[in-house]
Amino acid sequence: MTAEVTENLALGRLDDEARAALFTSARTANTWTDTPVTDDELASIWELAKWAPTSANIQPLRVLYVRPGEGRSRLVTHMSDGNKAKTQAAPAVAVLALDTRFHEHIPAVFPHRPELKDAYEANEAMRENGGRLNATLQAGYFILAIRAHGLAAGPMTGFDSVGLDADFFPDGRFKSFIVVNIGHPGENAWMQRLPRLDHEDVIRWA
């Protein structure tokens, strides 16, 4: 690639409004308005999130969108008690899961080094650690991609993943690790914002 191409991709800074939508004002929602979330919106969230980077482009995250109805009621049975009502009520819900056999796609997504598929096949720790790390990175991208659509996210780890997987992913290949409610925030949607750690507790310099 030429230097001109680099030039053309000069990067913009997010303005305060965009920072507010993703980070500084956005909040985890616990109630929802009746406004539906369309299948187009849900597909578009993935269309945005998919571009952010993963190690060797492995992209191990999978997404199950659970619409209102029978599937939703079944999903709610696997949620912790404190998460049942809001998950039942949410306009849309995404189950985020790791594809434990993500490496089967490597010849397509990392075509200049297809033999990496065999390296992952042979090394269970590398497959497990790399899959888990990158699926979780992608979950972070996904939560912010929901917010980029003007929607509120309600990510939860309080659910029975073994029961959920047996119910929704019975072949054992996908392993759920986060469930995210998606919608427009309703009345009293948020709890009081909790404090963040001080910089000196988080940041070091060398």
Q: How far is the CB of 82 from a copy of itself (least distance, A)?
A: 12
Whole-angstrom Cα distance, residue 61 to residue 67? 19
Q: How far is the CB of 144 from a copy of itself (least distance, A)?
A: 6
Cβ-based nearer residue to a copy of itself, 84 or 132: 132
CA atoms within 13 A on the CB side of 23: 8
Q: How far is the CB of 60 from a copy of itself (least distance, A)?
A: 10
Residue type, 92: A
- Look at residues 123, 179, 104, 105 and name the one whose alpha carbon lies nearest to residue 146: 179
Cβ-based nearer residue to a copy of itself, 70 or 124: 70
- Cα separation values, 37 from 41, 67, 181, Å: 6, 9, 11
Whole-angstrom Cα distance, residue 140 to residue 95? 13
Cβ-based nearer residue to a copy of itself, 79 or 151: 151
Residue type, 95: V
Q: How far is the CB of 79 from a copy of itself (least distance, A)?
A: 14
Whole-angstrom Cα distance, residue 160 to residue 168? 12
Cβ-based nearer residue to a copy of itself, 55 or 118: 55
Whole-angstrom Cα distance, residue 113 to residue 129? 20
Cβ-based nearer residue to a copy of itself, 118 or 158: 158
Q: How far is the CB of 88 from a copy of itself (least distance, A)?
A: 14
